[in-house]
Each structure stands twice: as C-alpha cells, then as structure tokens.
Structure 1
C-alpha cells in the first residue's frame, strides 16, 4: 500500500511522487539497485565539483544523502516501535558544514552510502503491515512509518535527479 496524503508532510509530496511501487518490498526492488549503481557510477573526477558558488560539492551531496537516510531510517524505526515523543528536525546546511565531506575519500563516501542503503532495506523489510501504519510527530508534522520509508527513497531519487541535471 502506498502512503496516504496524511501519512507524510505536504512538503514531501515531490519526494513521494518519485517513488514507484505499492509495497516496501516493491520499492526496494524497483529503486535500490538504481540508487546503488548511480552512486557507484559517479566518476571520481566529479567528486569535488560544485555547479555554482555556495552550492554543495558532489561529495557533500552524497554525505547529505547518508545523513538524511540515517535520520529518516531512525525516524521510521522510532515510529515502528511506537515512539510517543515528538522527534526533532535537523538543519541540513549545518550538517553539511560539520560533515567535512570534502576532506573524505570519495570511495569511502560511496562505500558508506551503499552499506547504509543495504542496512536500511533490511530494517524496512523487518516492519510488519501493522507497524507501517504507526503514526507520530516529527518536527511538528504527523507522519507514519510507511510515509518515512517512502520519503527516504523519494529524497534519494530527488537528489539523484539533481545530480544528473546539475552536476554530471
């Protein structure tokens, strides 16, 4: 089942609309290899490239994908486990600044993303149908576990498209 409009915040509509598939298993099957192959295929010569001044480098975008997937996966886990407290938001630009991604080896960033993506899949597949409906507050927005999973994939697909359009 796809998430309903009220299963994620309205600002995530663009992300969720990019995700194909009607079950967690389907979206993993459809999108996982696409995302992994895409990240693996980015040439090392583009690692430090930024398309404009004050825009993130490719390394920083990959680090942003890693950070966001970790946060979104934790949120999905917290909702699946019935967390009742509101979970905080995060400031992506602060995370980017403090990641020092440009000082890291690009191969390490790629390896970390791939490992994390695989780990997230295992986590997401572990959730049964009932917990996918669990609902909670994240940064003052009501969200379900299923909504977070779709947002995780949609966010990665969004940045894949941006990298293709503006960086590669």
Structure 2
C-alpha cells in the first residue's frame, strides 16, 4: 500500500495538490476518482462542454483535455524518477498545451475515452515500479520530488481541477466565453 509522501519528499509548491488527496491507499482513490470524473463530465451536454466554467477561463472540454495532458506529463516524470533518471526534468506550459490541444474538435465522450486510456496507462506503469523505487528522488522543474509524491500530485491535480471547474461540489454555473 502506497502511503502519503512525507513533506521532505516534495517542494512546498506541490502541497496544493498533495494536501487534497485523502489519507489511505491511493490506488482505490485513483480508481474511484476516474469513476467520478467520468460521471461528472459525462453528464455534461456537448453545449456545456463548449462553455467555460467562469468568464475568461477554460472551456469544460479544455479542462478535461488539460487533466489528460497533465497526467501524461506527470506520469513521465514519475517514470523517470522511479527508474533513477537524475536529469533535470522540464515543466510544460499548460496554456500552450490547451491552446494547441484542439479539444473543441473532440466530443466529451472522446475526451473521456482519452483520459481513461491515460489513467489506464498510469495504472499499468504503477505495476512496474518496485517498492524501493517509490522513494527515489528526482528533479522536476527545479524542484526535488520522489516518485511517490508524483503519484499524489497526479491525483491532487485532478481533484484541483474538478473543484476549480465547479464539478467537485456539484455546483456549476455555465458561462460563455
């Protein structure tokens, strides 16, 4: 069972994500989180998917695409750290990714299928990481992290965007823009 990372395993910057992940085994949480994402985004109409969650913010389809892109990137970081790669791993510009993601050309169902594939790939990766490797340390965006903390960052990042988009609490007002 993977336990919550200690505070010395990650830069305080990542606390925003790690702190929203509940205590306990993270694997069932990740499975339940996928079901929740699928349910919450799955009940949106295509029209709602084209609307932003607040004026000047991303459209709901862009939020979903961003969650997928971020999990892909963060899973690569986790793979690199777990395998002992000591290279400084670069970040990414989330706005460039979203602006060039062509998410408007996809249906919500297609975007959910993509995220499901990404999450399945993350689960597959987890089976190849031996217990001692979870505590390996790497450098991501000039911040020290363990492989274990990156898994919690993945989960917390998704939680963050569900809450910001107003889906987590079941309260969402639609805005065009």
Q: TM-score, normalised by structure 1?
A: 0.89
Q: Does 1:135 align with 2:137?
A: yes
SS across alignment from 2:36: helix
Pairing 1:156-167 to 2, within 5 Å after superposition = 156-163=158-165, 164=167, 165-167=171-173
Q: Does 1:90 align with 2:119?
A: no
Cα distance change on mapping 1:161 and 1:52 into 2, 3 Å: closer
Contiguous gaps of at least 5 residues in structure 1: none
Pairing 1:89-128 to 2, within 5 Å after superposition = 89-128=91-130
CA deviation string 1:95-142 (max 9, x = no partner):
111112122222211110112112212212332210000101011000
Cα distance change on mapping 1:167 and 1:127 into 2, 3 Å: farther
Matched length: 168
CA RMSD, 1 decimal? 1.9
Cα distance change on mapping 1:167 and 1:147 into 2, 3 Å: farther
With 157-166 and 145-154 compared, the bigger mean Cα shift is at: 157-166
Q: Displaced runs of 4+ in structure 1, greater than 6 A?
A: none
Residues in 1 aligned to 2:30 and 2:88: alpha-carbon distance in whole angstroms: 27
Q: TM-score, normalised by structure 2?
A: 0.85
Structure ranking higher in helix proportion: 1
CA deviation string 1:40-86 (max 9, x = no partner):
33333311011344311001101100110000001001111111100
